[in-house]
């Protein structure tokens, strides 16, 4: 009972909650930093499927903090491609596209894929949805499918930590307002004279 009274005391903030949220914040920061320091690229495949084909868009994002990938070559493979394109999201540079009408593969080459940059690659296809292959790069790459928890943490780590801080503040405020007041042991039972 004494431990519960100390945790819910109005005289000090809830220390255990603060320690728990600080540990969670540290883990989020450590996880995001480890991903940003590894050669990680996130990819998202968006398919617009129709009767005999459709279009596929691949969004690549360099998650690293300081690693640029040189000569990055990506290939899409399916029954047949009609056309293909690449689009850079500023400040990234657009890559080159190698394809022929009716070809079974489309190859995208990026001369340099800078840290934090995003590139959209797309193609209209016939047949089954295309598969993605990483053909070459200046360094080994860890591909992370987006959306995923890892990609979300990298992109929103500061927001997550701010929400933990906000949660701690709200819980502390609620405990200060609604916790029963602590009885002081220094009160005397003798009447004042």
DSSP string, 37-97: HS-EEEEEEEEEE-SSEEEEEEEEEE--SS-PEEEEEEEEESSEEEEEEEEEETTS---EE
Task: Give this prediction's pTM.
Answer: 0.71
What is the model's pLDDT at position 26?
A: 92
Q: Which helix (H) or strand (E) holds 176?
A: helix 149-178
Q: How is residue 33 annotated by DSSP?
A: H
What is the model's pLDDT at position 44?
A: 92
Nearest to 132, CA basis, from 84, 82, 77: 77
pLDDT tens string, the chain, 193 residues long: the values are 455 555 555 455 567 778 888 899 899 999 888 888 888 899 999 988 887 778 889 999 988 888 888 888 888 888 888 888 888 887 767 667 666 556 788 888 888 888 888 889 888 888 888 888 888 888 888 888 888 888 898 889 899 999 988 988 888 788 778 766 666 655 555 555 5
What is the model's pLDDT at position 112?
A: 85
């Amino acid at each position: 009972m004494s431990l519960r009274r100390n945790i819910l005391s109005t005289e000090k903030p809830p220390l255990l909650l603060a320690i728990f949220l600080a540990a969670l914040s540290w883990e989020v920061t450590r996880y995001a930093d480890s991903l940003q320091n590894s050669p990680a690229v996130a990819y998202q495949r968006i398919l617009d499927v129709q009767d005999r084909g459709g279009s596929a868009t691949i969004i690549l994002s360099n998650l690293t903090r300081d690693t640029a990938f040189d000569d990055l070559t990506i290939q899409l493979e399916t029954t047949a491609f009609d056309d293909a394109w690449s689009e850079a999201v500023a400040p990234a540079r657009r890559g080159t596209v190698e394809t022929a009408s009716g070809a079974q593969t489309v190859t995208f080459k990026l001369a340099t894929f800078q840290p934090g940059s995003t590139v959209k690659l797309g193609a209209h296809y016939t047949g089954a949805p295309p598969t993605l292959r990483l053909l070459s790069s200046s360094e080994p790459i860890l591909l992370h499918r987006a959306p995923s928890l890892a990609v979300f943490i990298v992109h929103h780590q500061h927001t997550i930590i701010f929400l933990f801080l906000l949660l701690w503040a709200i819980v502390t405020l609620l405990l200060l307002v609604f916790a029963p007041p602590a009885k002081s042991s220094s009160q005397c039972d003798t009447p004042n004279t």
